[in-house]
Amino acid sequence: MPTETALLAGRPVHRMGFGAMQLPGPGVFGPPPDRDRALAVLRRAVEAGVDHIDTAQFYGPVVANELIHEALHPYPMGLVLVSKVGAARDERGQWLGAQRPEELRAGVEANLASLELDQVPVVNLRRHPGSDVPFAEQLGAMVALREEGLIGGIGLSNVDLAQYVAARAMTPVACVQNAYNLADRSGQDVFDACRADEVPFVPFFPLGSAFHAENPVLGEPAVIETARRLNATPAQVALAWLLQQAPTVLLIPGTSSLGHLEENLAAAELVLDQAAIEALPR
């Protein structure tokens, strides 16, 4: 994996990271089908140079964090673990909002316990659609947690442009994690603002959502044709396209497969030529 890095909360990380969302069971709920394989994927990622791992206490719930702890603790020097707060799960695995300041604090404390950390390097505030909690109150809670030393940097997730601008006026923003890929650029305005401000942008679902039967990214004819011509896979083309959009794009493709992990990591070496740039959506 190339050594190209970008700063995340002031710490250099390789631009190809790893997302732990796919390590728990189906629907990001319950234990993994193969625990040993999940642990092996995490260890191989770090061995290959990954130093940015994205997780959340509500992945499982708790499962992703427990796997990270078992596989990697004591954590290697330079590893940046990024978690998020603002959501929860019920006993059936339904996704719930956990948006109130006290719930954000409880989420950070749960991450500290399950990951066995004194400070989570970066925590993303995930804004839940339709939340009735004022955004400024949420940011105030995150700033308080940072000032107490429980988190190192404040990130944002699932925010619109107005919220991003408001957050930047109140506190440094470590990163923004919004949906963005070849087929979904509905958040282009936030992406452009982050690029202009040199704030790391971490697209979730970089290869399209795993929750849909048909994948609009990997099924895009131009992606398939470009992959064939460059002797790459559609996933590698889609990831390389994202890396090319800005030097501050950080990727966290997730997988529970060692083969897919190696495929994703190799995308950092793929150079899209002019023909590919012209063929792919712009």
The residues annotated as belonging to the active site are 59
Helix, strand counts (H, E) of the chain: 10, 10
Return the SS3 of 60.
strand
Q: Whole-angstrom Cα distance, residue 156 to residue 213?
A: 28
Q: Which amino acid is at 148?
A: E
Return d(Cα 112, Cα 110) in angstroms, integer.
5
> Distance between the two ends of the chain, CA-based, in angstroms?
26
Contacts of 53 (CB under 8 A, 6+ apart): 17, 18, 19, 20, 42, 45, 46, 68, 79, 80, 81, 82, 252
At residue 81, the 3 state secondary structure works out as strand
- In sequence order, what are the residues at sequence separation of 6 or more whose Cβ sits closer than 8 angstroms to the Cβ of residue 148? none
Buried b (16+ CB within 10 A) or exposed e, 93-129: eeeebbbbbebbbebbebbbebbebebbbbbbbbbbe
- Strand ranges, E, within the chain: 5-8, 11-14, 18-19, 52-54, 80-85, 87-89, 95-97, 120-126, 151-157, 176-177
